[in-house]
Structure 1
Amino acid sequence: MSHNLETRSLMGEIRRFDKCCFFDFGHPLLNRIAESFVKAAGIGAIQAVSREAYFTAIEGSGFESSGGVPPEISVDGKKRHRAPDLRGETNRKSLEALVRNTGKESLQWGLAAGVYSGLTYGLSEARGVHDWKNTAVAGAITGVALALTTADISHEQIVQCAITGAAISTAANLLTGIF
C-alpha cells in the first residue's frame, strides 16, 4: 500500500498564496484592495495576539521582576500593555480586551495595506507607469491614514508618518529586484 504524501515547502505555500484570488468584485482595483486588506488584517491579528501572549508569558515567568525586560517593554517599572484590561488572567474582561485590541490592530493593518495597494495600483493606471513616484505618494497617504488612527494626533506626528511612509515605500520599490 503506497501513500501519496504531498510535501510542501514554506516558499511554495507563500507563492501559492500570492497567486490565489480571494475575491472577484469585477474590477482589478477592488480585488487588489480587498485581498490586501484581508491578508494584512490577518497578519495584524496574529501580531496582536502573539504580542499579548509574549507579555503574558513574561509576566508569569517572573522574568520581568528580575530586571531582564528590555526598557521599551516596561516604563517606570510598569509593564506597558496596549490594552490595559489584559492582565494575563483568564477572565471575561481580559478576553474582551484581547478581542477588542486584536480587532483594532487588524483594522489598522488592513487599512494600511488596502490604502497603499489601491493607491499604487490607481496611480499606476492613471499615470500609465509604475515608478517610485507612485509608491512615494501612496506611502505618504498611507502614513497619514495610519497617523489618523492613533489616539494622540498632532500635526508633527501626521507629517512624520507621511514622510516615513513615503520613505519606506520608495525604498522598498527601489530595492525590488536587488535581493
Structure 2
Amino acid sequence: MPHSSFSGSLTTPKVDVAIDTGNAFFNHTIDGFLKIGAVAATRAAAEEAYDAAKRGSISRHNFEHTLKKMCKEGAYWGTVAGIYVGMEYGVERVRGTRDWKNATIGGALTGAITGALISAAGHNNKDKVVVDAITGAAIATAAEFLNYLT
C-alpha cells in the first residue's frame, strides 16, 4: 500500500509589542490587554466578514457596525485579560512562587472584579459575582493545566 508523509514544521507568527511603563505589574497588564484585545477584535472582524459574504454585500452602515463591534469586543476582552494577567502576576509576586495556584487565585479575582463591575452596571443580583469568580478560577486553572500538557 502506498504511503506518504508530511515532513516539516509549523509555527505560528509571533507579534510582540513592548511597552515599558517602568512597572512590571502594569507592563504585564497592558501586554495582556493588547494581545487578547487584538485577538477579540480580529475574531469580530472575521465574524462580520463572514456575515457580509453570506449577504453578498456590505454597506456603509454594516462597515460602521463592524468597526464598532471590533472596538467593543477588543476593549471588553482586552480589559478582562489585562485584569487577569495583572492579578496572576500580583499573586505570583505576593506568594513568591510560580504555580497553578496563581492562575486559580488570579482567575477568581478577575471573575469577582469583572462580575462586580458587570453586576453593578446591569443591576444584577450579587450571586452573579460569586458565580463569575468561580467561573474565572475554573477557566484560568484549566488553561494553566492545559498549558502544562503542551
1:161 and 2:132 are equivalent in the alignment:
yes
Q: 1:116 & 1:178 partners in 2: Cα distance? A: 21
Shift of 1:89: 3.6
RMSD across aligned C-alpha pairs, in angstroms?
2.5
The superposition leaves residues 67-98 of structure 1 with CA deviations (integer Å, 9 ceiling, x where unpaired) of xxxxxxxxxxxxxxxxxxxxx6412x333222
Q: Which position in structure 2 is the counterpart of 1:134?
A: 102
* Residues matched between the structures, number: 139
Q: 1:21 & 1:178 partners in 2: Cα distance? A: 27
Q: 2:50 & 2:82 partners in 1: Cα distance? A: 28
Structure 1 residues 44 and 167: CA distance shift in structure 2, 3 A? same
Q: 2:104 & 2:111 partners in 1: Cα distance? A: 10
1:90 and 2:59 are equivalent in the alignment:
yes
The superposition leaves residues 78-133 of structure 1 with CA deviations (integer Å, 9 ceiling, x where unpaired) of xxxxxxxxxx6412x33322222111100011111111111111111011112333
Shift of 1:154: 2.7
Structure 1 residues 145 and 54: CA distance shift in structure 2, 3 A? farther
Contact conserved, 1:112 with 1:145, CA < 8 A, in 2? no
Q: Which position in structure 1 is the counterpart of 2:37?
A: 41
User: 5+ unaligned residues in a row in structure 1: which ranges?
Assistant: 1-8, 61-87
Identity %: 35
Q: 1:102 & 1:50 partners in 2: Cα distance? A: 10
2:18 is matched with which residue: 13, 18, 22?
A: 22
Structure 1 residues 21 and 89: CA distance shift in structure 2, 3 A? closer
**Displaced runs of 4+ in structure 1, greater than 6 A?**
none
The superposition leaves residues 26-47 of structure 1 with CA deviations (integer Å, 9 ceiling, x where unpaired) of 1221111111111111111101
Give the TM-score normalised by structure 1. Answer: 0.66
Q: 1:50 & 1:30 partners in 2: Cα distance? A: 30
Q: 2:52 & 2:89 partners in 1: Cα distance? A: 40
Q: Which position in structure 2 is the counterpart of 1:54?
A: 50
1:121 is matched with which residue: 71, 89, 95?
A: 89
Structure 1 residues 57 and 159: CA distance shift in structure 2, 3 A? farther
AA paired with 2:35? K
User: 5+ unaligned residues in a row in structure 2: which ranges?
Assistant: 1-8
Shift of 1:53: 1.5
